[in-house]
Amino acid sequence: MKGLLITFEGTEGSGKSTQISLLANRLREMGRIVRTLREPGGTPIGEEIRHTLKHSQNNQAMSSEAELLLMNASRAQLVREVIRPALAAGEIILCDRFYDSTTAYQGYGRQLDLHMVDLIISAAVGETRPDLTLLLLVTTEMSEQRRLARQSTLPFMRDRMEEADRAFFERVQQGYTEIAQAHPNRVRSLDASGSVDLVRDSIWKCVVPLLEAPPAA
């Protein structure tokens, strides 16, 4: 059975984690082997990089270029250690963020050269590309509200990425818009401002055609 790589994208507070869990459960009920991953992270090396990027108290001086390279170091390890073997075994991978996040956050958000960003991503992933990318969209204002609500109900852990200002997240939103326009066959933009059930149903409609596709020759 053909393996599938489905990636979830969106700004902070778009509900990716909730929807990944719901989709994973539904696919498992159908008898599919499902693996859920997150970026940065997903391997022992990647989780160490994740801590350095997001939570370390010593990362305040990190340059945008260092951030870009660390993101893709974690990604290169994840692709080779986990994603490629799992796809070869016929698993369905649901990944919370993949290389579109780098284009949106480091390319548009940090305003790094997009050609350089693309070259580094290509070195990290090679020919390993998503079969489907689900882009969950909420407004910048809703993203802020959900992020603050989350921080008020969970034990707070510093997240360097969430410390950026509104202008940064507006640029990220614009980046995602342009990514979706450039890759209409892969990226499905979904309104994530509605109820969990509505978003779940929209996602399922995008996933079903992949499950019904004939196996590759």
Residue-wise pLDDT for 135-176, tens only, equals 999 887 777 776 666 655 655 567 788 788 889 999 999 999
Q: What CA–CA distance (Å, rounded) separates 102 from 152?
A: 27
Note whether 74 and 40 are within 8 A (CB): yes
Report whether pLDDT(213) > 90.
Answer: no
The predicted pLDDT at position 168 comes to 94
Average model confidence (pLDDT) across the chain: 92
Over residues 180-206, the mean pLDDT reads 97
Exposure pattern of 89-110 as b/e (b: 16+ CB <10 Å)? Answer: eebbbbbbbbbbbbbbbbbbbb
Report whether pLDDT(120) > 70.
Answer: yes
Listed in sequence order, the DSSP H helices in the chain are 16-29, 44-50, 64-78, 84-88, 99-102, 114-125, 140-153, 166-182, 196-212
Domains, the chain, in order of start with CATH, read 4-212 (3.40.50.300)
The residue that leads in pLDDT, 14 or 64, is 64
The predicted pLDDT at position 216 comes to 46
Over residues 30-55, the mean pLDDT reads 97
What percentage of the chain reaches a pLDDT higher than 90? 80
The predicted pLDDT at position 217 comes to 41
**Closest listed residue to residue 6, CA positions, set 121, 91, 108:** 91
The predicted pLDDT at position 161 comes to 82
The residue assigned the tokens 């996933």 is: 207
Structure tokens at 9: 């994208």
The predicted pLDDT at position 179 comes to 98
Note whether 96 and 39 are within 8 A (CB): yes
Would you call 18 exposed, middle or buried from its count of C-beta atoms within 10 A (0-12, 13-18, 19+)? middle
Consecutive H or E run containing 94: strand 92-96
- How many other CB atoms are there within 10 angstroms of residue 113's CB atom? 11
Pairing of strands 92-96, 4-9: parallel
Tell me: the pLDDT tens digits for 47-95?
999 999 999 999 999 999 999 999 999 999 999 999 999 999 999 999 9
The predicted pLDDT at position 95 comes to 98
